[in-house]
Amino acid sequence: MPETVCELLGIEYPILAFSHCRDVVAAVTNAGGMGVLGAVSHTPDGLEVELKWIEEQVGSKPYGVDVLIPASLGGIGDLTSEDLQAFLSQVDFNSLFPAEQREFLSGLLDKYEVPPISEHDGEGGDLGRLSLPTTLAEISMTHPIKLIASALGPPPASLVDDAHDRGILVVALAGTREHALVQKAAGVDIIVAQGTEAGGHTGEIGTMVLVPEVVEAVYPTPVLAAGGIATGRQMAAAMALGAQGIWTGSVWLTTEEAETHPVVKQKMIAASSRDTIRSKSRTGKPARQLKSAWTDAWEGPESPGALPMPLQPLLVDEALARIDHFAGSGHEGATELANYFVGQVVGSLKSVKPAKQVFMDIVTEYVDTVDDLASGLR
């Protein structure tokens, strides 16, 4: 028989936790699951620091890294690591962004009276902060990670080969049966079937429909279920659909360790499952996030529409930093605009708990649910 996910990864419980917060990654790994660090927001030097810190906390226990690898870089074009610095030294930053989008963003900040931050000049983000996903992947694979996850399309063949040469498993996310087959053909070791309920970049098919479709299509490649999973009962449902484990994200955003902005964390606790939307307003690709004045504006009739990835995040990076900064000091307009990626399961996140407690609550409820189901069949 093929190895199970737990056997492949060397973990006790088939619960994987995607988080941009190193503390959550370490807590879940130490509890017997696997924490997976989202690398996209880090610079190469910053990623080195984060990975070394995680290793100090977890010792020899396995952990992973997630890199966001889009099929192309939108209006910037396809760049190699070697090309990036040359490009940055020559480009006229504002020429990348149409006046319509720049003016809309400026007007939005004016409408909600969000002032500038003195240390953040300019209308858009800082191109100097743009790190190619392949560069972050290369750095990650010099560390003793157990897996590397690729989102937004099949991983490059060079990444798969390099990872396998180093004994690192490759995980890829898929939102349709067809995408899962492409991922399988690319040589990935584990596929995450991510339903539309999930936070962040996600498709349109619900988890209940997607998971069994993907399980059947890619067998014997193991499948993890993602999207709308925050409890043991939901984990049991995912396993009943054929998944060998779960890939979780939103449930960790309201934990004590999470670096979620305090204002946004409180918004999430107050939110219902109807208070999310798939919007291109932060990244240029459809990503489920908390509804706010920000998404209302970008999805509204006056919006010029988002730019393709990575131009949209580069355009709005400084604006989002301003919003978060002033929301933290109680600014009314910034508070209305503030939001973050989160799935529909946000409606179940009603308190702040340590990540380890959240993890063990899932495990305990899963075991109880399976026992109850077995009892009902006797």
- Per-residue tens of pLDDT for the chain, all 378 residues: 678 999 999 999 999 999 999 999 999 999 999 999 999 888 899 999 999 999 999 999 999 999 987 554 444 444 454 555 555 556 666 677 999 999 999 999 999 999 998 754 444 444 444 456 678 999 999 999 999 998 777 888 989 999 999 999 999 999 999 999 999 999 999 999 999 999 999 999 999 999 999 999 999 999 999 999 999 999 999 999 999 999 999 999 999 999 999 999 999 999 999 999 999 999 999 999 999 999 999 999 999 999 998 889 989 999 999 999 999 999 999 999 999 999 999 999 999 999 999 999 999 999 999 999 988 765
Could you tell me which of 226, 142, 232, 221 has the C-alpha nearest to residue 188? 221
pLDDT of 131 reads 52
For residues 297 and 172, what is the distance between their CA atoms, to the nearest angstrom? 32
126, 323, 281, 113 alpha-carbon torsion, rounded to 10°: -110
Domain assignment of residue 99, yes or no: no
Domain assignment of residue 87, yes or no: no
Cis-peptide into 220, omega within 30 deg:
yes
Domain assignment of residue 85, yes or no: no
Domain assignment of residue 58, yes or no: yes
What the block records as the tokens of 146 is: 């157990």
Domain assignment of residue 196, yes or no: yes
Question: In a 3-state reduction of DSSP, which class is residue 289?
Answer: strand
- Domain extent, residue 161, equals 5-73+132-255+356-377
For residues 203 and 243, what is the distance between their CA atoms, to the nearest angstrom? 18
Q: Classify burial at 170, counting beta carbons within 10 Å of its beta carbon; exposed 0-12, middle 13-18, buried 19 or more.
A: buried
The total domain count for the chain is 1
Axis crossing angle, helix 262-270 with helix 311-327, rounded to the nearest 10: 90
Query: What does pTM read for this prediction?
Result: 0.91
For residues 254 and 176, what is the distance between their CA atoms, to the nearest angstrom? 29
pLDDT of 92 reads 65
For residues 335 and 153, what is the distance between their CA atoms, to the nearest angstrom? 34
pLDDT of 78 reads 47
Domain assignment of residue 249, yes or no: yes
Domain assignment of residue 304, yes or no: no
Look at phi and psi of residue 168 and say left if phi exceeds 0, alpha if psi is from -120 to 50, else beta.
Answer: beta
Which residue is associated with the tokens 């070697």?
Answer: 82
- Domain containing residue 229: CATH number: 3.20.20.70
What the block records as the tokens of 371 is: 């026992």
For residues 108 and 157, what is the distance between their CA atoms, to the nearest angstrom? 42
Q: Classify burial at 99, counting beta carbons within 10 Å of its beta carbon; exposed 0-12, middle 13-18, buried 19 or more.
A: exposed
Domain assignment of residue 149, yes or no: yes
